[in-house]
A and B are shown apart, each in its own frame.
Chain A
Amino acid sequence: MQQVVSGLAQGAIFASLALALVLIYRATDVLNFAQGEMATFTTYVAWALMDNGLSYWPAFAITLVVAFVGGAAVERVLIRPVEHRPEIVIVIITIGLLIALNGLTGWIWGPEVKAFDSPFPLRTIEIGGVTISLQDLGVLAVCLITVALLWAFFRFTTLGLVMRAVANSQDSSRLMGVRVGWMLALGWGLAAVLGAVAGMMAAPALTLDPNLMLVVLIYAFAAAVLGGIDSPVGAVVGGLVLGVVINLLGTYVDFVGGELRLPAALTVLLIVLLVRPQGLFGHRVVRRV
């Protein structure tokens, strides 16, 4: 049961990053390979703010703003000039961005591991005979609240509606007077915010180094594919399920241990792609001839 809760906490981090991937995928049909590095970079921003004396939550809030502006800027400056080119061009740009950001992070802050404070106490509590760490509970809560706020934004605001419309059809949106370019930038900004949340929640457990999110990104991909790459609900459910499964496998199946968790995640990815390529909640692509 303990493992389930810490699995959920870890899964919530995968879910946040997976949701970021899905947001951008739905809007532009492109997987953003730099999503993890963008998250790492913004986590370093949070670290730098705290290193300069800010306390946790103000640093958290400022980092989200930086992430939003940065994500939108990446879309405007790097993606927009190539948006009408084949998708592979954009994918290559995001891979380039991954490498560039990784290098930049190391160049600014150095390659050594940094301690990243957790806002949650290290104590554990007992609920019904189950020992649960407050750290896990806090991570789970922050990620789920972020996801819920985002869901409410898309569901209940006109701006959210317009962004969903753009994800449905860019041409039709233009004919309705929507400035599509700005909506895409907004989508990238929101995705970067999700990534920043994931990064800041992951850093205390994993310790902060320039490769912090590289592995998390792979889990997030697996989660997104498991849930269905075009389904936001799927990304969240996929992330949580993956977190729990990986944790249970690592604890109770001897030969998996700590080392084989990543291969286990990739196995999940492979099985999903073979058996149910549209994922748990995704739409099957139907070709009408």
Chain B
Amino acid sequence: MPLLELRDVRARYGPIRALHGVSLTVDEGEVVALLGANGAGKTTTLRSVSNMVRTSGEITFGGRRIVRRSPEFVARLGVAHVPEGRGLFPELTVWENLRMGARGRADAAETERVVGYFPWIERRRDQEAATLSGGEQQMLALARALVSKPRLLMLDEPSLGLAPTIVRELFGIVRRLNEEQGLTVLVVEQNATIALSLAKRAYVLEVGKVAVEGTSDELERHEAVRKSYLGY
């Protein structure tokens, strides 16, 4: 049984329909990428899992139905959602942001282990999150999600607005976490090249529907996907 399963999920913002029946699965220990152009419904798909948007259809996580529940309910089941714009608390310090993630779950050892992947955090712990650079903010958002010991990590466009070296570092950390800890990841990306290098499988969304799906190798060989999203 997959860890996360969406079946015929539809979502709308007021009168505007954003998803027209999306079906996908994520297995335990897997990295899955969600690709597509602007407005294809990638972000909305993550938001429907987190109940941040009015959704119909069937979504199960760990065998439990999670449609029309609350964002806090889904979070408490172990879904860590790093949203578009990173969702940090700008006026809280770096360390306070981490404590918000660890609240009631991770022990000190767990936090230490996570911080091991981001050594700079220890040095900047009392700095307000708003004063960090974009790359550091994305790293902190990732670290905060990790200290909650998530069963599923959902990343929304982690590469957006970041320099290529930072993006490589970020994806390197996610890859290590997947290989070393078996972390399950659903990542939304416009940068298909880097997403496919990380993910084992991917879905391509077009106007609110899954247009193509397959393993990363298959998608890299897929004529239309290559032209539209990989650019060669």
Contact = CB atoms under 8 A, between A and B. Distances in A.
Chain B's interface size range is 20 to 34
Contacts of B50: 175
> From DSSP, what is the main secondary structure of chain A's interface residues?
helix
Interface in B73-88: 75-76, 81, 83, 87-88
B108 to A, nearest CB: 14
Interface in A129-180: 158, 161-162, 164-165, 168-169, 171-180
A6 B92 CA distance: 36
Contacts of A176: 75, 100-101, 103, 144, 148
A175 B83 contact: yes
Contact of A161 (B72, B81, B99): B99
B75 A168 contact: no
Contacts of A161: 92, 96, 99-100, 103
Nearest to A180: B72
B91 interface: yes
Contacts of A169: 87, 89-90
A168 to B, nearest CB: 4
Contacts of A179: 72
A220 to B, nearest CB: 23
Nearest to B91: A168
Interface in B82-125: 83, 87-92, 96, 99-101, 103-104
Contacts of A175: 50, 52, 71, 75, 81, 83, 87
Nearest to B101: A176
A102 B175 CA distance: 62
A172 B87 contact: yes
Contacts of B71: 171, 174-175
B38 interface: no
Contacts, number: 60
B70 interface: yes
A158 B100 CA distance: 8
> From DSSP, what is the main secondary structure of chain B's interface residues?
loop
Nearest to B88: A172
B91 A177 contact: no
A171 B91 CA distance: 15
A168 B87 contact: no
A162 B83 CA distance: 19
Interface in A94-119: none
B51 to A, nearest CB: 9
Given A158-B99, A174-B71, A176-B75, A168 B90 contact: yes
A177 B87 contact: no
Nearest to B70: A174
Nearest to B51: A174
B165 to A, nearest CB: 25
Given A165-B96, A165-B100, A177-B76, 4 more contacts: A165-B92, A171-B83, A175-B75, A180-B72
Interface of B: 50, 52, 70-72, 75-76, 81, 83, 87-92, 96, 99-101, 103-104, 144, 148
28 contacts: A161-B96, A161-B103, A162-B100, A164-B89, A164-B92, A164-B96, A165-B89, A165-B92, A168-B89, A168-B92, A171-B52, A171-B87, A172-B87, A172-B88, A172-B89, A174-B52, A174-B71, A174-B72, A174-B75, A175-B71, A175-B81, A175-B87, A176-B75, A176-B101, A176-B144, A176-B148, A177-B103, A177-B148
